[in-house]
Amino acid sequence: MNPELGNFALALACCMAAGQAILPLIGANRRDARLMALAPALAVGQMIALITSFACLIHAAITNDFSVQNVAANSAVSKPLLYKITGVWGNHEGSVLLWAMILSICGGAVALFGRNLPSALQARVIAVLGGVAAGFELFCLTTSNPFARVWPAPLDGQGMNPLLQDPGLAFHPPILYTGYVGFAVPFAFAIAALIEGRVDAAWGRWVRPWAVAAWCFLTCGIAMGSWWSYYVLGWGGYWFWDPVENASLIPWLTGTALVHSAIVVEKREALKIWTVLLAIGTFSFSLSGTFLVRSGILNSVHAFANDPARGVFILGLLALVIGGSLLLFAIRAPQLTTGGLFSPVSREGLLVLNNILLCSICAVVLTGTMYPPFMSLLFGKTISVGKPFFDATTIPLAIPLMVFMGFGPMVPWKRAQMWPVLRRLWWAACVALLALVLATFRMRDILAVLATATAVWVICSSIADIAERLRLFRQPLAQSWQRARSLPRAVFGAALAHAGVGIVVLGIAGMSQAAHRIVEVHVGESEMLAGDSWTLTDVHPAEGPNYSALVATIEVRHNGRLITTLHPSKRTFASQHQTTTEVAIHTNLLADIYGVLGDKHGDDANPTYVLRLHYNPLAPWMWLGGLIMAFGGALSLSDRRVRVGAPRRAKTVDVVVVQ
Amino acid sequence: MTRKSRRLWLVVACMIGLGSAAALTLNAFSSNIVFFMAPSQVHAKPPPADRTIRLGGMVVAGSVHREKVKDSPVNLFDVTDGQAAVTVRYEGILPDLFREGQSVVAVGTVNPDGTFRASEVLAKHDETYMPKEVAEELRRSGKWDPRFGKAPDAASWNTMTAADTPKKPATQTPDGN
């Protein structure tokens, strides 16, 4: 009964989405208030229907309803409850439904939080979201229905890939998808602006919080994914330049550019056409990222299925959404008024530079990702590009980006002088130079040295920015505190996000110095790595809920003092005949001690075990920095200026800018 | 600064950004592209010693053994495409799905003595999955043709060893046995 209810709710949502796509558009064109008022109602209705539908699927998974094919194929009675729930989005059908549900929540959010928008703009934004949602709900219903039944129902399901049974991965997809799908809102704003033929400062101000929110989720999602691959795959690596990872990085890069260029639209009414194009581009990359990857065009471990019907549907849908929006852009963009040009040394000048460099990095990553599949498609050559290619191309572009990033927040709008800015940043530059010198002695790779120095520069200049605004150490502390309280939160948010980038890059540079050893030892033997002595003291079997494991005990000592005891293990899942490796990690926030248990060799009386031992300096900083970036974004979202003082569209009203 | 010179500045900045991106990409493509090679190709035309390649094929049944070099275990196994076999040396833990008779992709360089030094060995998550490159190579060497049905069962590749394949290279039945 419940799966049918879910199926019905999905179909209902699809119909409502279709109505949501058409009626408000007509209403906005005819200035018919009643038709426009349908938009928020339909958006909220669609959201409720899809949440119901998704809840039904979760219910079927929890209650082990193996007559639902999706549950039978991906779940099992013995699976822990948490993974029964999260397993719902661990497969193609469920993840498409999750995708559609998040999109409908975005539509509902625009309906509920966008009451201060002009009704015609709001109606058009919701209509565009409805159109995209209708397409994907139709895709879900016709080619990948998660509620399809099987008969006769099997007694037990086939179980889930053990690699996916991990709390990190359980919450990674919803967060990442929220990031991807969140960019649908700026996209809808861009399309609505093109239909209206009007982009102004108020538009920039409305669109930016949505872009920032999506960016925060995407940043978190990418950081979580990277963390997952670090501790689950057990190779000691954190980013593999896999097509799927790149598919999330590309919209992140253009999304970051969008977040910055929207500031220029808001403050200076310039870069309008470019910002619209970025909004369209970011969502297009998100869409193609999620669906091209999963349709198996880019061959990867993440591909769920290779079904031609799905592929054709998805390609058609992508062509319609992306091609249609670009066509609209080509027709309408010339009618948008262009903003003024501005001097190179100014806040907007540096923001343009930020956009150019981010888009260059994006172009490079896109080329590296798409070149191999195109080569095999066109010429039948199998090649691959990996870490060396991406290191050699992205790092040289990222270094100037970070250098300018340090200046950005300090340079005033319109016309600026370089000298006063330099005077305020001299100490940050000195610290960065010191870091450069120190790093030259410690690291051999020139790119790692430069990355370290620029990362320190970014962090110091963010601190300098805040210190300067608070007049720290030039005024009594009480006065600085007063200033801190009146300073908009967005300023702190931006400084935090920038410092977060610096911390991520420091983590990456630190990881380039990671050491590892692979050893084969008897129980009781010790090995040395990175100044520590690692002793395998015990190996014993253990039983889990749906697996059996072999657990090792490794004691790590520094100069005889016990630092930590690691328990890496190997799990064997009987129902899938699969073995997974459970890494043991001990962190002190400056470095990770990382141990992996490998194969057992020799006779049972005196066996030897292969161990892989890693010492990863600064590794936790990569994810910590990612979280700080997302937190910075969230902090700027909580700024009063985002919530109150809804901008009006009068031409002359200028928002009061607190600098 | 005049309007014209400002526009010029913008255009120049864009050109420098995208130009350097293009230059970096082309430069990296010329030195960092990793080609896929089958063992027979490695025999016919060994790549230079500093060139990283991806070697793919089937692990020859019974060829996997280990050595110990200075406390570090080294895995040795032969990879075949049905025409020729290459010995792979890999210092590290073989992936959980690595099995004799299954397809494998090894990333690394070719030593002057013709052996392959792998820095990474990939076996895919799914037991029934075969890397695309390996499937393509099997098709080319006549071991298996997708037009004549599904890929042979992983277990049957145990019989696919380097010792017996060169004797009957092109006259194989399509299913690989």
Tens digit of pLDDT for each residue in A10-64?
Answer: 999 999 999 999 999 999 999 999 999 999 999 999 999 999 999 999 999 999 9
Determine, yes or no, domain membership for A401. Answer: yes
* Segment among A233-237, A607-611, B41-45 with least mean pLDDT: A233-237
Burial class (CB in 10 A: 0-12, 13-18, 19+), B38: buried
CA of B124: how far to CAs of A160, A241, A305, B93, B105, in Å?
16, 17, 15, 15, 9
pLDDT digits (tens, 9 = 90+) for A211-270: 999 999 999 999 998 988 888 877 778 888 888 888 899 999 999 999 999 999 988 888
Contact B107, B119 (CB under 8 A): yes
The class that CATH gives domain B35-167 is mainly beta
Average pLDDT, chain A: 87
Measure CB to CB from residue B10 to each of A341, A364, A521 and give the nearest one. A341
CA of B171: how far to CAs of A37, B140, B142, B160, in Å?
73, 13, 8, 14
Residues A418 and A310 reside in one and the same domain? no
Q: Which of A2-11, A307-316, A420-429, B69-78 has the highest mean pLDDT?
A: A2-11
Average pLDDT of span A334-362? 85
Determine, yes or no, domain membership for A170. Answer: no
Residues A11 and A106 reside in one and the same domain? yes
Determine the Cα–Cα distance for residues A136 and A50; give it in Å rounded to an integer: 12
**φ, ψ (nearest 5 deg) of residue A332:** -95, -25
Beta bridge partners of B34: A384
Measure CB to CB from residue A360 to each of B17, B72, B91 and give the nearest one. B17
Contact B141, B169 (CB under 8 A): yes
Angle, alpha carbons A243-A249-A250 (nearest 5°): 90
Residue written as token pair 């009964």: A1
Q: Which of A74-78, A321-325, A571-575, A579-583 has the highest mean pLDDT?
A: A321-325
User: How does strand B116-122 pair with strand B85-91?
Assistant: parallel
Determine the Cα–Cα distance for residues A493 and A482; give it in Å rounded to an integer: 18
Distance from CA of A519 to the nearest CA of B (A): 5
**φ, ψ (nearest 5 deg) of residue B10:** -60, -45
CA of A57: how far to CAs of A1, A143, A235, A318, in Å?
11, 17, 35, 26
Specify the number of domains making up chain A.
4
* Segment among A449-463, A610-624, B105-119, B160-174 with least mean pLDDT: B160-174
Measure CB to CB from residue B33 to each of A353, A383, A577 and give the nearest one. A383
Determine, yes or no, domain membership for A655. Answer: no
Provide, as residue numbers in chain B, all residues whose Cβ is less than 8 Å from the Cβ of A356: 13-14, 17-18
Q: Tokens in use for A363?
A: 């172009």
Q: Where are the beta strands (DSSP E) in A439-547?
A: 515-522, 526-529, 532-543
Contact B66, B73 (CB under 8 A): yes
Residue written as token pair 């119901």: A52
Provide, as residue numbers in chain A, all residues whose Cβ is less than 8 Å from the Cβ of B28: 368, 385, 388-389, 392-393
SS3 A180: helix
Residues A459 and A507 reside in one and the same domain? yes
* Residue partners of A490: CB distance under 8 A and separation at least 6: A635, A636, A639, A641, A642
Cis preceding-peptide flag for A373 (omega within 30 of 0): no
A517/B136 CB distance under 8 A: no
B72/A518 CB distance under 8 A: yes
Given this model, what pLDDT does residue B163 score?
Answer: 41
Whether the predicted pLDDT of A391 surpasses 60: yes
CA-CA-CA-CA torsion sign (A220, A222, A225, A230): negative
Determine, yes or no, domain membership for A634. Answer: no
A392/B72 CB distance under 8 A: no
B29/A371 CB distance under 8 A: yes
Distance from CA of B116 to the nearest CA of A (A): 18
Residues A405 and A503 reside in one and the same domain? yes
Given this model, what pLDDT does residue B132 score?
Answer: 61
Most B CBs within 10 A among A383, A533, A569, hence the mutation to make, goes to A383
**Pick from A276, A28, A161, A143: nearest CA to A575:** A161
Residues A8 and A152 reside in one and the same domain? yes
Contact A619, A587 (CB under 8 A): yes
Whether the predicted pLDDT of B25 surpasses 60: yes
**Pick from A205, A235, A197, A211: nearest CA to A120:** A197
Residues A475 and A541 reside in one and the same domain? no
State which residues form the domain around A564.
515-620
Return residues 108-167 of A near B (CB < 8 Å).
161, 163
**Pick from A178, A200, A206, A189: nearest CA to A89:** A178
* Segment among A174-178, A593-597, A603-607 with least mean pLDDT: A603-607
**Interface predicted TM-score (ipTM) of this complex, two decimals:** 0.77
Determine, yes or no, domain membership for A307. Answer: yes
Q: Tokens in use for B21?
A: 């991106």
CA atoms within 13 A on the CB side of A132: 34
Contact A574, A548 (CB under 8 A): yes
Determine, yes or no, domain membership for A625. Answer: no
A519/B136 CB distance under 8 A: no
Angle between helices A201-232 and A167-182 (to 10 degrees): 160
Determine the Cα–Cα distance for residues B152 and B142; give it in Å rounded to an integer: 13
A644 touches chain B (CB under 8 A): no
Residues A471 and A531 reside in one and the same domain? no
Distance from CA of A86 to the nearest CA of B (A): 20
CA A516 to chain centre: 29
A513, A536, A551 - which closes a domain: A513
A291 touches chain B (CB under 8 A): no
Instruction: Tell me B166's DSSP state.
Output: G
Residues A209 and A356 reside in one and the same domain? yes
Residues A506 and A520 reside in one and the same domain? no
Measure CB to CB from residue A382 to each of B32, B66, B133 and give the nearest one. B133
Average pLDDT of span A561-574? 89
Contact A354, A408 (CB under 8 A): yes
Angle, alpha carbons A500-A505-A506 (nearest 5°): 95
**Pick from A356, A184, A328: nearest CA to A261:** A356
Residues A543 and A609 reside in one and the same domain? yes
With an 8 Å Cβ cutoff, the interface of chain B facing chain A consists of 1, 3, 6-7, 9-10, 13-14, 17-18, 20-21, 24-25, 27-29, 31-36, 52, 54, 66, 68, 71-73, 91-94, 96-97, 107, 124-125, 127, 132-133, 136
Given this model, what pLDDT does residue B104 score?
Answer: 85
DSSP codes of every residue in A590-658: SEEEEEEEEEEES-SSS-EEEEEEEEEETHHHHHHHHHHHHHHHHHHHT-HHHHSSPPP--SS--PPPP
In single-letter form, the type of residue at position A10 comes to L
Given this model, what pLDDT does residue A90 score?
Answer: 82
Q: How confident is the model at residue A497 (pLDDT cuts 50, 70, 90)?
A: very high
Return residues 528-557 of A near B (CB < 8 Å).
none
In single-letter form, the type of residue at position A290 comes to T
Distance from CA of A481 to the nearest CA of B (A): 40
Q: Tokens in use for A608?
A: 């030897």
Whether the predicted pLDDT of B128 surpasses 70: no
Q: How many CB pairs under 8 A join A and B?
A: 121
A382/B92 CB distance under 8 A: no
Residues A483 and A567 reside in one and the same domain? no
**Whole-structure pTM value:** 0.89
Residues A490 and A576 reside in one and the same domain? no
Distance from CA of A392 to the nearest CA of B (A): 6
Which runs of consecutive H residues, i.e. helices, occur in A150-242?
167-182, 184-196, 201-232
Determine, yes or no, domain membership for A502. Answer: yes
Contact A20, A78 (CB under 8 A): no
Per-position b or e across A589-610, b if 16+ CB within 10 A of its CB: eebbbbbbbbbeeeeeeeebbb
Return residues 496-535 of A near B (CB < 8 Å).
517-521, 527
